[in-house]
Structure 1
């Protein structure tokens, strides 16, 4: 009898527990579905399994292009663009350039339409806010620095090396060109990715501890990773005048009342051989050149003037070794020439400081017992400029986002020096003509215009020259640059 009671009690207990379990399951089954709806329709990540392969966290690139393969949510930026804080252009104007944070999507602004570039498939599709046209202003004051204030808690969908977050500066435009790039770009497919207020150049007031903490996360040309703060601050301290943050510091003397700044950007491609474009190039207000720019003996094809010479210490030294036989002995030397460093390592900061102060290079491969003379014995700090790592990273992320970023070479990949030079001109000049850059018929020409025999173009993992070639075609088709081509595409 006692055994029967115990069996009956056990059965009732198990039955009761089973009923409670079924009731709990029936009450809670809807909760996960509501969470999934929030993730998909509101772009808000509520939970994240670090091992998850969900498309909410890791959307793969297509195998043949850099276009994203999933639609952009209506109220958020695409997850692949988010790392830390996603920032936009700030449209406020002051009389001096001001460093500030850029408002994010969380402020309630609606993103611009999704811009596509249907002609060629090698450029990433981005959708970003762009601001209105600038009014002409002038200033010689430096920017007042403000702390960056993140305003959006972003999803951790990007590797930290991407870093699509940038400083914004309200730098007064030097002209009020009615047909300038900054106005034309808004009506093109590039309007959504073009940031008019990103600093192209870095100088003394950027070297704050706050900015160092932010930028030291990124290696190579894309940040200050690997550079100690003392070296950085000492080097940038010599770039302390308006000539160092203005690309065209002598425009007021040479403008001749012109409304627009016309720039010729000259690459070293073999397409320029026998082009007879030298006189046309020299007629521009400014002439940009890079690396092994051999001029003597080639003036009818490439011109003779150089106002802005872009290089890194490494590319400069390599050019001097590789092209000495073709007549390249060092950077062009003239009164109008400015020297624009593309900093890849601490050696660029060390060389720049030594050149500006006429002192020996302290350490590294360029260590010397006497001041460097690459830029002439009388070079002044006012003739030296240096690209901002935010600008280099922005060019990589929004214009030249290569498949190399998905490989083990991601840390060494960057736009080529020539690409940085051309895109810097696009962001600072009003009208841009490009010569000597790679075109789809590149195999018809030698690597360089000064080659005595044919050399095919070389391709290396640290640059994506085919993607750059496609970008030049798209910018030409959009009317943002005028690209010299033998064979019109």
Structure 2
């Protein structure tokens, strides 16, 4: 009997040990799986609200853009394509075509406000550029592609004697620490050199020269060799008519302009800026008829012509006073620029064999062509429109919209700026464009942060740096 009892106890002990061992194995397995399957908190994912900084909500990503990346995998039909929608190749590859090791300048990039007092001091004499670096900015963990130090700087003589211009007022506003008045707005022949090519090849898209070979760059910029290519308002001496301040109307294509009756007011400015699908015929009473500066990239121009042809847009405005301002975010922009300046067909790329006079008219000359400087576009992104998208997988395709670059270029060049047709907080009350035949909601895309831009326009208006048209 004792022997049978002992055997039962031993069996129970063995069973208990096996059970404990099994539970221990399951526990260890669960711990390992938990480590490999852990989920990042939703607040860090693109599309979910993040905590804004103390002074602005600009860093938040709109929640209604949560699924915007899905739009990128399915190109829209031509009739509804967003003019700034990138090519399929751009969507498949979000990294720069060429990313050399970061230099000391990009490794020490500072936050916008901190860097304002430590920006390199540079002089441009006869078009040459040299850096006499000031105090070293604080080290930062920013990735090299941000590049918020070492911008080219030039001393551009004042074109007016205006006492109430943007540059005089900005120091008394919240934007004083962000504003760099010596970053060149435009690039031209004297800006290209092996040293500058090495520096700017670190940055992709509209923010640098990565993806543009040096020979193409030299061939293109060599035709931009006059003051007309260097200055945004190149004909001010003829246009001023005794005025001491340059007044610029910057016109977006927003539906808020429909039935606005602002056309005569817009045309009364010294300069009138427009962009992309700027349809004028039939809408003159609301948007005016003059265009002195037309801003575009080759991609946005071609997409606008495809998307809005049925509404009357067949190409850029054509007039004696119109200047064509390229926003170069691809090598094809440099090729089209060279072709337009030399009246030759585009020699390669997506526009191969295209006749540039089809876009810019028979009388286009090099003096009517301009091209934004990549340092200027990168500076705008870093100092004015630093979106949370820069921390996501879409960081290399993000840039300010073409309209935003146009408006901020005017802010850096004109004395007084009035903005029409730009997004306002009541944007849902209006169709996407003033020329839409029926209501179309505003679309959001991963390569832009239009909500952030809308907030910036409100801030600039409140600071008295622009006058933004809004329905009362």
Question: Would you call these one fold, judging by a TM-score over 0.5?
Answer: yes
Q: 1:212 to 1:289 in 2, by over 3 A?
A: same
Partner of 1:146 in structure 2? 129
Is 1:129 paired with 2:133? no
Q: Deviations over 1:325-361 (max 9, x none)?
A: 1110000000000000000000000000000000110
**Secondary structure class of the residue paired with 2:130:** coil
C-alpha displacement of 1:64? 3.0
> Which stretches in structure 1 are left out of the alignment for 5+ residues?
1-61, 70-81, 88-113, 115-123, 132-140
5 Å-filtered alignment, 1:19-418, equals 63-65=50-52, 83-84=106-107, 128-129=116-117, 143-150=126-133, 152=136, 155=139, 157-165=141-149, 166-368=151-353, 370-418=355-403
C-alpha displacement of 1:129? 3.4
Distance across 2 between alignment mates of 1:167 and 1:231? 21
Distance across 2 between alignment mates of 1:66 and 1:377? 51
> Which stretches in structure 2 are left out of the alignment for 5+ residues?
1-48, 57-104
Report which of the two has the higher share of helix: 2
Distance across 2 between alignment mates of 1:257 and 1:84? 48
Q: Deviations over 1:404-446 (max 9, x none)?
A: 0000110110000000000000000000000000000000000
Q: Deviations over 1:303-344 (max 9, x none)?
A: 000000000000000000000111100000000000000000
Distance across 2 between alignment mates of 1:341 and 1:406? 27
RMSD between aligned alpha carbons?
A: 2.3
Contact 1:435 1:483 in 2 (8 A): yes
| TM-score normalised by the chain length of structure 1 | 0.73
C-alpha displacement of 1:378? 1.4
**Secondary structure class of the residue paired with 1:148:** strand
Q: 1:369 to 1:417 in 2, by over 3 A?
A: closer
Distance across 2 between alignment mates of 1:307 and 1:130? 36
Q: Deviations over 1:53-87 (max 9, x none)?
A: xxxxxxxxx92336699xxxxxxxxxxxx834569
Q: 1:86 to 1:443 in 2, by over 3 A?
A: same
Q: Deviations over 1:279-319 (max 9, x none)?
A: 00000000000000000000000000000000000000000
C-alpha displacement of 1:256? 1.2
- Report how many residues are paired: 371
C-alpha displacement of 1:157? 1.6
Contact 2:108 2:139 in 1 (8 A): no
Distance across 1 between alignment mates of 2:55 and 2:193? 36
**Secondary structure class of the residue paired with 1:374:** helix
Contact 1:266 1:436 in 2 (8 A): yes
Contact 1:203 1:240 in 2 (8 A): yes
| TM-score normalised by the chain length of structure 2 | 0.75
Partner of 2:8 in structure 1? none
